[in-house]
Amino acid sequence: MKHTLILVALAGGLLTALGQHHNGGGSTEFGGDPITNIVPFVDPLPIPAFAVPTGTINGAPVYELAMTEFMHRFHRDLPEMPVWGYGGSYPGPTIQAVVNQPIYVRWIDQLPVHYPPWLPPNPINHGVHGDLVQNVVHLHGGANRPEFDGHPEAWFRPGESRTYLYENIDFGGDGETLWYHDHAIGVTEINVYAGLAGFYWLRNPDAEAPLDLPSGPYEIPLVIQDRDLQTNHPPASLLSIGVLPWHYLPVVNGKVAPYLEVEPRKYRFRILNGSGFRTIGLVLYANGQNVPIDQIGTDDGFLAKPIRIAMTNNVLQTLRLMPAERADVIVDFGGLADGTHVVMTNQFDSTSVALPPAEPLNVVGGNFMEFRVHRRDSNPDPSRLPDVLTTNVVNPQLLAARAVRTRTITLDLRNETPYPGLAFDTDTNVFALINLMHFDDPVTETPRGGDVEIWQIVNLSDDPHPIHVHLLDFFILDRLNFTANGAAEYINDRKLGRLKPLTSYLTGSSRFVQPNELGPKDVVRTPPKAVTRIVMEWPRDPRFYGNYVYHCHILDHEDNDMMRPLTVRPPLEPGQMLADFDLLTGLPLIEVGTAKGIPYVIQAASTPTGFFPINETIGTGQTYYLVDPPVAESRAKFYRTLTGP
């Protein structure tokens, strides 16, 4: 999809654009061309309502949220147009829950049976069923049982509903800024684009109360998106989307470039980048001067201490968020004069998602919203910015020292850089893959409960990708640079089956992990032509043994096969009898334990009884390759491990 746009600044703050939006074939897409001029800061910021329970199940609150199509006005000067949403709002209501206090949510699908012309599914995406609507809800960042995680293939149809149990387990314990959104296979991008998203705040009152953070009306959700709207060819609607879509209009809580009246005091903002593709880099300006942002939390919990994002040594820092990343921040308007206007500006543009020049492709000049400071009816401010937010801090390096394995995860885009002889995939429709595998290829990530793993994510493309792992929190270890030709050499060596150790392609120098990335995460930015290393501990809890996924959260990448399944298996307990192995098919593979430094005795038998010791080893959690002659009278042997003396 091509975009040509010229911005012209006019008196009174109006920005106009002369542009075209076409699909490469010369024909105009459904509804016409996108909005090309609009006045910013004329609509008040909507605040999504808190969801209210409608009953109980087993003593736990039940919330009922219906997915419906309804009319919505994005801007004062625009007509109403159809959108989708949960609970009749765009974005959906904010669900508030408390750590370890379960709730139920009944997701009711009352959407049309067929996708409307303004929201056509991509027929080449895996799992699409013509124009039939399919939905499933994922609580993003939640520790969800497999059956309630919103697996992409667990979709259901209009006229149906699903009731999910959310047990509100927080592995970090301090509370989390979660969100819920559609996750149906092949159509996640269009379903979310239509409006199927909302916040879910998981609170720990015991952790929050001593901090005296801004609360009540001074704690505000901000769902930031970009959208294309058209009105010059009826009916007015969202414009259908294409590959790697950049959209012209910044939408915050469902309004284009809104404003919020604030008191001269501290506010807490929970910010979500809900865009499908756009990276944002947020800064605040008042009268040409930078207003600091203090980040107190990441996707899944508090930072150890606040991190200030401001002008430092004449270098402008930005609050950078890739799609699906969240930030918990405090902004203090207390030192600003009555009548001051503070503008939230995006410093990332569509010419490069890796660099932060000024935003040129936006008809309101890159300005997402405005805060208007007023002193009338102001209340005293008892809140504060704590020096220490939590002592429940995980040291990623110490966690990594317990790792039982390291996985290599490669990210590829078709023809991103035409390396000689590179064959991407036999399916010419596919343009994004993980480990050069499709979503429906066999599962290769099969951690056991209690395992600590390091994932080294090798981005071989020219674009950054936000990688999301379901079920758990992880921590960023570092980012490593390829040598000048390292990525090309890696790709060609991989094709020829002669890959060397990954370090052979790297410089040995690491990229700095930003201080505001050091908290618990479930989405990580993976820069182009670099290796990003993360560490995670899989929960040792039978509730979480089963099937999940991980994927790029650029939604059209996710829909176009940049998503892979993973299966969490039960831990391998000492004394557990393992499955039989057919020794005539190759060497048997015995996984010995899941903890370092524990002696194990390996035993074998030709029947499920009568085991005898055959070897001893030190359990490392790695796969142990056992060479054991087959029993003459049987093609199978049984193995087990026992803790040694």
User: For 237-283, how does the pLDDT look when each residue is reduced to its tens digit (9 = 90+)?
Assistant: 887 665 556 777 889 999 999 999 999 999 999 999 999 988 899 99
**Extended strands (E) in 448-552:** 452-459, 465-469, 474-482, 506-511, 523-526, 530-537, 546-552
In angstroms, the Cα distances linking 422 to 435, 483, 494, 633 are 14, 19, 10, 49
- What's the mean pLDDT when you consider all of the chain? 83
Q: Please report, as a single letter, which amino acid is at residue 444.
A: T
Domain limits, the chain: 2-44+228-373, 55-211, 396-568, 581-643
- Quote the pLDDT of residue 458: 96
- Quote the pLDDT of residue 67: 99
**pLDDT beyond 90 at 36:** no
pLDDT confidence bin for 622, thresholds 50/70/90: very low
DSSP 8-class letter at 494: H
Lowest mean pLDDT among 333-337, 363-367, 408-412: 363-367
- Quote the pLDDT of residue 37: 75
- Quote the pLDDT of residue 581: 40
Mean pLDDT of 300-309: 97
Mean pLDDT of 314-330: 92
What percent of the chain has a predicted confidence (pLDDT) above 90? 64
Lowest mean pLDDT among 16-30, 293-307, 367-381: 16-30
Name the architecture of domain 396-568: Sandwich (2.60)
Q: Do 55-211 and 396-568 come out as alike in CATH topology?
A: yes
- Quote the pLDDT of residue 231: 74
pLDDT digits (tens, 9 = 90+) for 503-515: 999 998 887 789 9
pLDDT confidence bin for 2, thresholds 50/70/90: very low
**pLDDT beyond 50 at 617:** no
Which contiguous run of DSSP H or E holds residue 200?
Answer: strand 197-203
Planar angle of CA 441, 415, 530, nearest 5 degrees: 80
Cβ atoms within 10 Å, residue 286: 18
* Long-range contact set of residues 571-577: C-beta below 8 Å, sequence gap at least 24: 571/448, 571/449, 571/450, 571/451, 571/540, 572/448, 572/641, 574/600, 574/641, 574/642, 574/643, 575/640, 575/641, 575/642, 575/643, 576/640, 576/641, 577/608, 577/638, 577/639, 577/640
Q: For residues 28 and 314, which has the higher predicted lDDT (pLDDT)?
A: 314
In CATH, the number for domain 55-211 is 2.60.40.420
Q: For residues 552 and 3, which has the higher predicted lDDT (pLDDT)?
A: 552
Q: For residues 550 and 592, which has the higher predicted lDDT (pLDDT)?
A: 550
**pLDDT beyond 70 at 620:** no
How many Cα atoms are found within 13 Å in the side-chain-facing hemisphere of 83?
27
Mean pLDDT of 541-562: 95
- Quote the pLDDT of residue 631: 44
Mean pLDDT of 198-223: 98
- Quote the pLDDT of residue 312: 78
Q: Are 175 and 206 in contact (CB under 8 A)?
A: no
Which contiguous run of DSSP H or E holds residue 162?
Answer: strand 161-166
Q: For residues 12 and 446, which has the higher predicted lDDT (pLDDT)?
A: 446
Which residues 6+ apart lie within 8 Å of 364 measured at CB? 15, 38, 40, 249, 250, 256, 257
> How far is 336 from 282, CA to CA, in rounded Å?
19
Give the phi and the psi of residue 201 in degrees, each rounded to 5.
-100, 120
Q: Are 480 and 511 in contact (CB under 8 A)?
A: yes
Lowest mean pLDDT among 123-137, 221-235, 284-298, 383-397: 221-235
Does domain 2-44+228-373 fall into CATH 2.60.40.420?
Answer: yes
**pLDDT beyond 50 at 7:** no
Lowest mean pLDDT among 140-149, 168-177, 312-321: 312-321
DSSP 8-class letter at 632: T
pLDDT confidence bin for 364, thresholds 50/70/90: low
State the pTM of this model: 0.85
pLDDT digits (tens, 9 = 90+) for 111-125: 999 999 999 999 989
Q: For residues 364 and 76, which has the higher predicted lDDT (pLDDT)?
A: 76
pLDDT confidence bin for 8, thresholds 50/70/90: very low
- Quote the pLDDT of residue 242: 58
